[in-house]
Chain A
Amino acid sequence: MSRTARSVERLDGLWVGVMAAVALMGVRLLHMQVVRHAYYAEVAERQRTQVIAQAAPRGRVYDRNGELVATNQPAFSLIYLPGKSQDPSRLVGLANSLARELHRDRDELLELLREAVHEESAIHLAENLPLKTMFKLSELKTLYPGVDLIVEARRSYPNGAFAGHLLGYMGKMDRRAWRRLKDKGYRVDSWVGRAGVESRYEDVLRGVDGEIRMEVDAQGRLRRRLDEVPWQAGGNIYLTIDARIQKAVEEALRASPSGEGAAVVLDPRSGEVLALASVPDFDPNMLLLPQWDEAKKAVGSLPEFNRALQGTYAPGSTFKVVMDAMLLEERKAALGDRVFCPGYLSVGNRVFKCWEKKGHKSMDFMAGLANSCDVYFYTMGLRAGGALIERYSKLFGLGRKTGIDLPGERSGNIFGPEARKARKRGWYEGDTANLSIGQGELLTTPIQMAVVAASIANKGTLWKPRYIKRLERRGERNAEDPASEPAGRIALRPEVWDLVREAMVAVVRTGTGQRVNIHEVVVGGKTGTAQNPLGGDHAWFIAWAGRPDEEPSVALAVLIQHGGHGSSAAGPVARKAIEAAFDLASAKGAAPAGAPPAAVIDELPPETLPDPHPAVPAPRAPAPAAKPGARTAPQPKPAAPEQGADLYSEDEL
């Protein structure tokens, strides 16, 4: 029964083997826990934290008087945090539930969720959620780990459809655009300004998104808030726009015969844009609906076309003011030179008709413009010659962009012997006759005609129109007040300006533009009815206005596409604009009295937004004690204006 010596040797051999193996493990432990500790610690830290981006409020946009035209409001967003050890098959159930609550396509949601799991990063599933949906979704939170609701700042346009073409709207980026912008802190689901001021001043308006660092467990459930980087709101912008004029112009344009048109109102003293409108227009709030693409589809083809800058039309009779300036400056016509108008003029073998078939009889300089007598201008135009008219149309800035800082502006088209020559075609007398009344191939944009009107009002300064009054860039102490730049100077004799202005006043007082005759102010204008071979005539009205004994402070151009007569279609718009600009009694009646809609929407300054993560009871450092009602803020109140009600109605998802 004695054990052999050999067995103990074997046991010792095994023992040495175990010791060797354990020594190897010790080395490995030392390597992992001491040498490579930093690497593993970083991996562990990374997988236990999720950074949730929190969209910062964009800078606010005000009109020249400080009325809010674009601001922010708190909105709930549904986010999804993929967990490390989540069962992928649960995604299908989650997608089903979400599709039901959000009324969205199940497969699309599933793809989003899968992508989030693959990328291991949090995504926004839905934004701008209505309160009722939010309550339903908060039940999902308990069923599906990783689903959570946060508060973010969302763009809001308190006036609804207001200066949409100038303000622009917010939209999502496509992947390619995002790749270009991601270095600037944009997330793939960030909103970005898509047109107008929102796009052009994206760098000023955009804030710095906040970040909440949350601890998540392996299922992606949020456990607690670790820390956060508060957002920084974007810089504010003051526009030169006057909201009262803008509203009056938009209303009048919508009420015009065709409902299609544009108007530009400038301050002739500075070139500042007081109003810039184009109808049909759109409500930028519509594009902030949770699903941007669907909203865009729902709105239909967005009326993005800005007629004020992009529409080119024959100026028609409004061109006659340029003719008048030329005739006097070049001494081609004296005030008393009379032309007999029988209702037509024969040029060569062609007959050119006057708009007044009966004829204006005897016309002089003043009466010619006041009655817009075509025969007078045919005659005078033929006397001056096409080349001179072409030179003056260029002098007044036609045929080139005004230089307003908005994308897509068109330069129109110059019509004249030189332009014809450039295209290797000849110039005929008949062309001169056509050009004399602003017809033919001459094409102008409403903003060009507004600049022309302004140059007459200020006696020769061609402004580059400007719509920014003040930029308050984030992090900069001093606001930036851009100065106006003239795009050119028209050097005419002073008495020429006075006479042209006098003729324009006569148009309003005694001629075709009597609809815009306002007693309290001095108004000079010119109607235009541009014949359009493709459809109904385009109605024009250009004007300037000023208080008696003061220099004109308003200049404008109105175009009603297919509107018919300039006097009846465009005139009322010009009248409303001037009344609003001078704050006259009839304008007050037209604009709805009472508080502006901006005050009704529960707009909160960003620092009083409710806790961005309501599920975690940790309060934000600066307690929003000042506004106890902050938490209930996003709830649409019954008194909310129409736009707000539309935005948050339950059916609109």
Chain B
Amino acid sequence: MKIESSGFRGRIDWGLIAAWAGLVAIGTVAILSTASPLPHYGQIIQRHFLAVGVGTLLFMLALGFNYQVFQDQSKVLYAVAILSLVAVLVLGQVQRGTKGWIRLPFFSFQPAELARILTTLSLAAFLDRRAQRSGTVGFVAGGFALTLPILALIMLQPDFSSTLTFFPMIIGMLYCAGAPLAPIGAMALYGGVALGLPLVWTLIQLHPGWAAASSLLDGFLRLREMGGPFIVAVVAIFALAWLAWRLSLQLRVTLPPPLFAVGALILVAGLASGAVVDRQLKDYQRARFVAFLLPAADPRGASYNVQQAQIAIGSGGLWGKGVFSGTQSKLGFLPERHTDFIFAAVGEEMGFIGTTAVVALYMLLLYRMVDTARQARDRYGFLVCCGLASILGFHLLVNVGMCLGFVPVAGIPLPLLSYGGSNLAMTLFALGIVGNIYSRRYAFY
């Protein structure tokens, strides 16, 4: 293959590389600093640098061959994802109540991280194959159906946080693939009801007076017991849907009858799922809900983390307290300071300058991914970029939002900064694929 120097320059996305290299550099400094009081400091640093090395190799590897291989071999990738998730259930190690790691000689590997990238690649291929039917409900349903087994396997670990990161990827790709909004909206409604109900229930539960004062609220609270009130609610939903349909006929508004049926079904399904989710919620997860709803309720409990993160960020000021000088992270007030809350540690030690740099580099990274998507030579590349950008964007918004108190604590790391070998390596691998798509944006070779 003949490569001209000018062509070579055009093939490498230096902006992308600069963005991730900058983030990894800041992340490395922050990890070196924040992990220093920890007992396994040496091991952490060793693993981090191993992950940086492996990740850089994976990035170069992903740059090296045509990304269309992934499209051709999408079924193989899908199978690998399933197999790795089955393998972790069989061979995996339990850490913090989750069976999510496979132990290898030098490090532990988290197959869910790999599965997310592989699912993105195979889902893009699936959606691209059905491009002609992209306007149909089946297109959306198919996309969800494809990821369902993967999500189910991760739920078996059980790793609630990891499954959460699949949804922005799926929805982002479907949306960018031109899927109709109604089914996506229906899915969002379903998801909203399923996740929102436990939140509301928890809120009511926090105020025993409310339910005691109102039999309606009490009945609402008892929906989750799946008993009498639940059946009443289901009947009521269908009755209301039927009434609404009759009303629309009276008003001579022409709406298709299935709309009401589907709407009612979604509500019922959401209600049922919500009740299931509510039962499945672990105590610490419910505590996080509480902490988000009422931050001052329990300053030493779940909201402690968020408060300490905000104190860390705020006390950093404009210039920060200096690397290795953060009192919040050094003295252990800031929890998860080298993983989920690393952004707060950066805010404390490197100040507003540091946090701005991180956000700016992230925006550069996302911009490069969005730009690559625009220029991609085929729809597959476009979808892959959209999916990967959705994942990173979601992580950025949720993780930083969590540190700032906008979002409940969800246990979602900040890729490229947070300590976590599998995540770092797989993120760099994903960025390699984006770089690959960029380099092959013109179908000259």
Contacts and interface: CB of A to CB of B under 8 A. Distances in A.
A binds B: yes
Contacts, number: 137
Interface stretch (B44-52, B224-232, B348-356, B415-423): B348-356
Given A3-B382, A7-B178, A48-B333, A32 B314 contact: yes
A11 B374 contact: yes
Contacts of A443: none
Interface string B151-180: 000000000000000000000100111100
Interface string B176-189: 11100000000000
Interface in B280-295: none
A299 interface: no
A70 B330 CA distance: 46
B176 A14 contact: yes
A28 B404 contact: yes
A217 interface: yes
Interface string B403-444: 010100000000000000000000000000000000000000
Given A33-B347, A40-B313, A40-B314, A26 B359 contact: yes
Nearest to B381: A3
Given A3-B382, A44-B311, A33 B317 contact: yes
Contacts of A34: 317-318, 352
What does DSSP make chain A's interface, helix, strand, loop or mixed?
helix
B219 interface: no
Contacts of B85: none
A28 B318 CA distance: 13
Given A11-B374, A85-B304, A36 B386 contact: no
A148 to B, nearest CB: 16
Given A7-B177, A10-B175, A33-B347, A223 B379 contact: no
Nearest to A216: B331
Contacts of B316: 33, 37
Nearest to A33: B352
A229 to B, nearest CB: 21
Given A7-B382, A34-B352, A84 B333 contact: yes
A413 B156 CA distance: 93
B317 A41 contact: yes
Contacts of B355: 29, 33
B243 interface: no
B112 to A, nearest CB: 24
Contacts of A32: 310, 313-314, 404
B93 interface: no
B62 to A, nearest CB: 21
Given A1-B379, A3-B379, A10-B178, A41 B331 contact: no
Contacts of B117: none
B401 A40 contact: no
A11 B176 contact: yes
Interface in A28-69: 28-30, 32-34, 36-37, 39-41, 43-45, 47-48
Contacts of B314: 32-33, 36-37, 39-41, 43-44
A41 B315 CA distance: 4
Contact of B332 (A19, A36, A37, A217): A217
Interface string A206-237: 00000000011111000100000000000000
A3 B177 CA distance: 8
Contact of B131 (A1, A30, A45): A1
Contacts of B397: 18, 21-22, 25
Contacts of B356: 26, 29
A6 interface: yes
A215 B401 CA distance: 30
Contacts of B332: 85, 217-219
Contacts of B400: 25
A11 B335 CA distance: 36
Contacts of A2: 379
A22 B178 contact: no
Given A28-B406, A215-B331, A1 B378 contact: yes
A632 B34 CA distance: 41
Interface string B377-406: 011001000100010010011001100101
B311 A40 contact: yes
A12 B175 CA distance: 11
A43 B401 CA distance: 21
Nearest to A17: B393
A4 interface: yes
Nearest to A36: B314
B363 A22 contact: yes
Nearest to A47: B333
Nearest to B374: A8
B311 A43 contact: yes
Interface string A308-325: 000000000000000000
Contacts of A219: 332
Interface in B93-133: 128, 131
A49 to B, nearest CB: 9
Interface residues of B, number: 53
Contact of B327 (A12, A25, A28, A44): A44
Contacts of A41: 314-315, 317
Contacts of B273: none
Contact of A11 (B304, B317, B330, B386): B386
B404 A10 contact: no
B370 interface: yes
A571 to B, nearest CB: 71
A215 B404 CA distance: 26
B32 interface: no
A6 B401 CA distance: 30
A48 B335 CA distance: 15
A7 B331 contact: no
A593 B412 CA distance: 81
A428 interface: no
A15 interface: yes
B23 interface: no
B370 A11 contact: yes
B88 interface: no
B268 interface: no
A21 B382 CA distance: 23
B24 interface: no
A33 B374 contact: no
B378 to A, nearest CB: 6
Nearest to B315: A44
A33 B349 CA distance: 12
B430 to A, nearest CB: 17
B312 interface: yes
Contact of B331 (A3, A12, A217): A217
B366 interface: yes
Interface in B319-370: 327-328, 330-333, 335, 347-348, 351-352, 355-356, 359, 362-363, 366-367, 370
A100 B264 CA distance: 66
A435 to B, nearest CB: 75
A187 B175 CA distance: 65
A28 B351 CA distance: 13
Contacts of A19: 363
B82 interface: no
Contacts of B379: 1-3
Given A11-B374, A29-B404, A40 B131 contact: no
Please list the 4 inter-chain residue pairs (A to B) with the smallest Cβ-Cβ separation, ordered nearest first. A40-B314, A218-B332, A44-B315, A217-B331
23 contacts: A8-B373, A8-B374, A10-B176, A10-B178, A11-B370, A11-B374, A14-B393, A15-B366, A15-B367, A18-B397, A21-B397, A26-B359, A29-B347, A32-B310, A32-B314, A33-B314, A33-B317, A33-B347, A40-B315, A45-B315, A48-B333, A85-B333, A215-B331
Given A26-B359, A41-B317, 7 more contacts: A4-B178, A15-B366, A18-B396, A29-B359, A33-B313, A39-B314, A40-B314
Interface of B: 128, 131, 172, 175-178, 300, 304, 308, 310-318, 327-328, 330-333, 335, 347-348, 351-352, 355-356, 359, 362-363, 366-367, 370, 373-374, 376, 378-379, 382, 386, 390, 393, 396-397, 400-401, 404, 406
